Structure 1
Amino acid sequence: MTDIIDKAAMALSGGLIVLGVVVMGLIETLAGKPFGAAPITNDAGEIVATPMIDPTIRTGLVLAGIAVLGLYAVYKLATPVPEETAAGREVTAD
């Protein structure tokens, strides 16, 4: 059984992780080279090309999604299990 907090935590954390990995990765791919996370330099050390989206933004979104999952885990550990769910449902014998 999932309640509103379960659904919200799953949607928020999943959304942040998918946004940081898939969506921004697709944007980087469509934007063209460079595909790497670090700026590309020439032999003189000058920065020739940089990624379209800063890697720290992408990393921050993924870490925020993981943090939401961590907070959700702490919430689930702190809330007590209802009696019906913990012991099961009583069934009368014949």
Structure 2
Amino acid sequence: MKEFDITDKIATAFGAGLMLLGIVGLGLVELVAGKPYSPVPLTNEAGDVIANPAIDPTLRTGLVLLGLAVLFAWGVYRAATPDRGVDQTPTEVTAD
């Protein structure tokens, strides 16, 4: 099992922080802004826009996807780097 070093802590905190900001943080901003909670502009029968979302949904989606990309890149980095805590010397195994 690999130990977490400073790179791991930074990557996981940054990736999770972006996802939390996009989902929870901006979701709370939408709630505080009030109704409607729709991700698209609402129109009336005449086609006039009567309400817009407070935060653009593409911004929220972009933050979540960026957070996922950071966590994916961190996972690839972890898989590609060797485990520094394990002794790499070969051991001799005898058969019975």
Q: CA RMSD in A?
A: 1.7
Q: Secondary structure at the match of 1:81?
A: coil
CA-CA distance at 1:77 after TM superposition: 1.4
Unaligned 5+ segments in structure 2 are 90-96
Name the TM-score, length of structure 2 as normaliser: 0.83
Show the counterpart of 1:5: 7
For 1:16 and 1:51, the matched residues in 2 are separated by 20
For 1:31 and 1:75, the matched residues in 2 are separated by 40
CA-CA distance at 1:82 after TM superposition: 2.5
Q: Which protein, 1 or 2, shows the higher relative CO under an 8 Å CA cutoff with sep ≥ 6?
A: 2
Number of residues of Structure 1 aligned to a counterpart in Structure 2? 87
For 1:34 and 1:86, the matched residues in 2 are separated by 60
Q: Show CA shifts across 1:1-37 (max 9, x none).
A: 2101110011001100010000100010011111010
Name the TM-score, length of structure 1 as normaliser: 0.85
1:76 lines up with 2:87 in the alignment: no
Larger fraction in helix: 1
Q: Secondary structure at the match of 1:80?
A: coil
Identity %: 51
CA-CA distance at 1:40 after TM superposition: 0.4
